[in-house]
Amino acid sequence: MGVDTVTAIFRRVLETDGITPHCDFFDLGGDSLIATRVLSAVARESGVELTFEDFLAAPTPESLAAKVAGAAR
């Protein structure tokens, strides 16, 4: 799963177009409940299930895509 796909998930879930790969989910107004929607979408599209702790450690599309890539290996 690439960074463009994760960025698109952030945009869809947060309902805003102004998200870049370096934007922090929580700075954009995301919370733990919305984060679960991101994690579910990532799991559906990549087959990789990450934890909320993974998301806290990687709250940008770029860092989350890297986590997915690392977990998929």
pLDDT at 1: 86
Query: Distances in Å between the alpha carbon of 36 and those of 9, 55, 58, 63, 73?
Result: 12, 9, 14, 17, 23
**Stated pTM of the model:** 0.93
Which option is the CATH number for 3-72: 1.10.1200.10, 1.10.1060.10, 1.10.3470.10, 2.60.40.2700? 1.10.1200.10
Predicted confidence (pLDDT) per residue in 35-58, tens digit: 999 999 999 999 999 999 999 999
Q: What is the mean pLDDT of residues 20-39?
A: 97
pLDDT at 72: 72
| Domain locations along the chain | 3-72
- Could you tell me which residues come within 8 angstroms of residue 4 by beta carbon, excluding any fewer than 6 positions away? 21
What is the Cα–Cα distance from 48 to 70, expressed in whole angstroms?
A: 10
What is the Cα–Cα distance from 47 to 71, expressed in whole angstroms?
A: 10
What is the number of residues in the chain?
73
Q: What is the mean pLDDT of residues 17-26?
A: 96
